Amino acid sequence: MKSLAVLHASQVVTLGGPKRPRVGTEMCELTIVRDGGMLIRDGKITSVAPSDQIEKNASNAEIVDAGGRIVLPGFVDAHTHLVFAGNRLDDFERRTRGESYEQIARAGGGIWSTVQKTRASSDADLLKQAKIHADWFLKCGTTTVEAKSGYGLTLEDELKILRVMRQLNEETPLEIVPTFLGAHAVPRETDAAEYIKLVIEEMLSRIAREKLAEFCDVFCERGYFDIEQSRRILTVARQFGLKLRIHADQLTNSGGAQLAAELKTTTADHLEKTNGQGIAAMKSAGVQPVLLPGSVHALGLSDFPRGREMVEAGLAIVIATDFNPGSSPTPSMPMILSLACTQMKLSPAEAITAGTINAAYSLNRGNKIGSLEPGKFANFSIFNCEDYRELAYWFGIPQTHSVYVRGRRAG
């Protein structure tokens, strides 16, 4: 593969630093190289330095002139529901009339309406729509996403979604990290005990055997899966070799954060209703919070997660889009940066750390992606601005100039 030299970036935001998730004041340390550049060989970064130094070693390299723009690691979106059929425009309109998430679900909307559409879709149709979604992510500067199943809720339909993810990984530049979320809701045609038995006794073993997922997730929430049910599912998932994530304390403070701490899950996601006890429990257990301000915004709510408090407690927080058709229909990490700063009071630097290197560690990939350092994959984005703070400052405007995955232009 040909060498690539990136030159004349106003800022190369490297995120170089400790080889672990960043906490506390470390989240503000972006390690910026001004008038910076990178040398890339065989899809990996070999050096990051001021442009004049890179240029001296770039005699046989293809030149990418950043032209005074900023260069960032590709965003790592650590919580998405990437593969689904259709949309939820009716739910959106119902919310504008004041109906709640629970009211819409009882009326036949919510997760269930997407389940019906996804079950009715062929693998080819799901792949076609997912490729459109993947292109949206790349256009926003995202190069890696965690993607959850959970819109099938039968063995065959959950397998169908995860197989589409595998194909998407092979056919698009976007890296997909698959998560099994069979415990997203209890299907209407069965009861909770029967469905949990199906998840535990059939789905998990099949998914583990086919190596279709790296993580298992559960929607731990009133009306979905309670603490004991969530504990059972996640405990069995771990026995099958899957790493653990959990949707926790989104709609109520039901003890999800404490369960995450008890099980030492990799992440606890949402956490809109988590209190100080939950924050302390996650800190003691080394759980990474994944905060999803886009879903609070899209649902028209105001109870954003206590991001500032979590940073000050020393948690290695992550921010992500929660891309899904119902409660957060956005693939835009720059929009999430803006919400993190304005609504959760993170600094622009903390938000970028949460959406790159910390997110990479939450997906067990911190040694490969999430920062621009020698030896890591050359996953990076060039944005049409001169200062990294502009990404959160100008919102609603596409600022992506170009995106590279493993040294190849992807968007």
Cα separation, 273 vs 119, whole angstroms = 32
Structure confidence at residue 102 (pLDDT): 79
Cα separation, 383 vs 282, whole angstroms = 34
CATH of the domain at 53: 2.30.40.10
Structure confidence at residue 101 (pLDDT): 75
Q: Note whether 41 and 84 are same-domain residues.
A: no
Q: Note whether 204 and 327 are same-domain residues.
A: yes
Q: Which two tokens stand for residue 59?
A: 């005699």
Structure confidence at residue 1 (pLDDT): 64
Q: Note whether 162 and 84 are same-domain residues.
A: yes
61 — alpha (psi -120 to 50), left (phi > 0) or beta? Answer: beta
- For residue 221, the surrounding DSSP H or E stretch is none
Structure confidence at residue 100 (pLDDT): 84
What is the number of domains present in the chain? Answer: 2
Cα separation, 174 vs 138, whole angstroms = 7
Q: Note whether 395 and 324 are same-domain residues.
A: no
Q: What are phi and psi of 31, to 5 degrees?
A: 50, 70
Structure confidence at residue 110 (pLDDT): 87
264 — alpha (psi -120 to 50), left (phi > 0) or beta? Answer: left
Cα 331 versus chain centre, distance: 10
Q: Note whether 87 and 29 are same-domain residues.
A: no
196 — alpha (psi -120 to 50), left (phi > 0) or beta? Answer: alpha
Q: Note whether 316 and 213 are same-domain residues.
A: yes
Q: Note whether 84 and 10 are same-domain residues.
A: no
Residue 10 belongs to domain spanning = 4-74+371-409
**CB contact set of 1 (below 8 Å; sequence gap of 6+):** 41, 42, 43, 407
Q: Note whether 41 and 95 are same-domain residues.
A: no
CATH of the domain at 305: 3.20.20.140
Mean pLDDT by 10 residues, the chain (411 residues): 92 98 98 98 98 93 97 98 96 91 84 95 98 98 98 98 98 98 95 97 98 98 95 98 98 96 98 97 98 96 97 98 97 98 98 99 98 98 98 96 97 72
Helices (H) and strands (E) in the chain, counts: 17, 17
Place of tokens 């030159």: 7
Structure confidence at residue 153 (pLDDT): 98
Structure confidence at residue 331 (pLDDT): 98
Cα separation, 20 vs 236, whole angstroms = 28
